[in-house]
Structure 1
Amino acid sequence: MARFNAAFTRIKIMFSRIRGLISCQSNTQTIAPTLSPPSSGH
């Protein structure tokens, strides 16, 4: 049961992280440069 709990919390954290990224992307495009690979401009 403990193992399942740990996996569940890990999945929940991953989902919240992804949801935050998506919401940030839809609201502002400031996170796009960090997600894309570093260009020669950096």
Structure 2
Amino acid sequence: AVHFLVSDGAGFVTGATLTVDGGESLPHARLEVVDKLRKNPS
């Protein structure tokens, strides 16, 4: 879900929240989003 939502600032927060709701820890979710942003800066 995260990679569909990293287009903007709100997506960053929402993506992390959705990942946490899915059962993953917040630090992991944040690292995953940051990694995707590094690969696909926009």
**So what's the TM-score if we normalise by structure 1?**
0.40
Greater Rg over alpha carbons, structure: 1
Bigger RCO (CA 8 Å, 6+ sep): 2
